[in-house]
């Protein structure tokens, strides 16, 4: 059975969501959002990824999920992992990197994102 990257990310995000810390503020907000449904409610989660998650890619053999620290700088964590992957060109095209960005309620309010973003 083939599982799309989006479906795999959704399952992983739900598992990793409790790892986020609620006190740090992020400087940069990703412009890409994963949407999934929980109890008939659509949830939006910002993320960075090395490929479009809406398109199945049968070449992908590895999935790396990078979870940021308390500074919520998923962009830096994503960039660091991508740079590390560039050192391994033989696996670069076969690896999907995803860095979800968990926000605080304050950040959601500061960015006027609405209540469809988890915190």
Q: pLDDT-derived band of residue 21, with 50, 70 and 90 as boundaries?
A: very low
**Hey, how many other C-beta atoms are within 10 angstroms of the C-beta on 88?**
10
> What is the DSSP annotation of 10-52?
HHHHHHHGGG--SS---S---S-EEEEEETTEEEEEEEEESS-
Report the alpha-carbon distance of residue 9 to residue 5 in Å, rounded: 6
Residue 13: CB partners within 8 Å, gap ≥ 6? Answer: 34, 36, 45, 100
pLDDT digits (tens, 9 = 90+) for 61-118: 999 999 998 888 899 999 999 999 999 989 888 999 999 998 888 888 887 887 777 7
Report the alpha-carbon distance of residue 104 to residue 85 in Å, rounded: 29
């Amino acid at each position: 059975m083939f599982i799309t990257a989006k479906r795999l990310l959704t399952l992983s995000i739900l598992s990793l969501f409790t790892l986020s810390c609620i006190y740090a503020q992020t400087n940069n907000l990703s412009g890409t959002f994963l949407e999934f449904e929980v109890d008939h409610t659509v949830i939006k989660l910002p993320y960075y990824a090395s490929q479009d998650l809406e398109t199945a890619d049968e070449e992908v053999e590895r999935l790396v999920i990078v979870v940021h620290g308390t500074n919520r700088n998923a962009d830096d964590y994503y960039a660091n992992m991508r740079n590390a992957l560039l050192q391994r060109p033989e696996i670069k095209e076969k690896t999907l990197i995803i860095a979800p960005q968990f926000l605080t309620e304050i950040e959601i309010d500061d960015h006027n994102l609405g209540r469809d973003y988890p915190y």
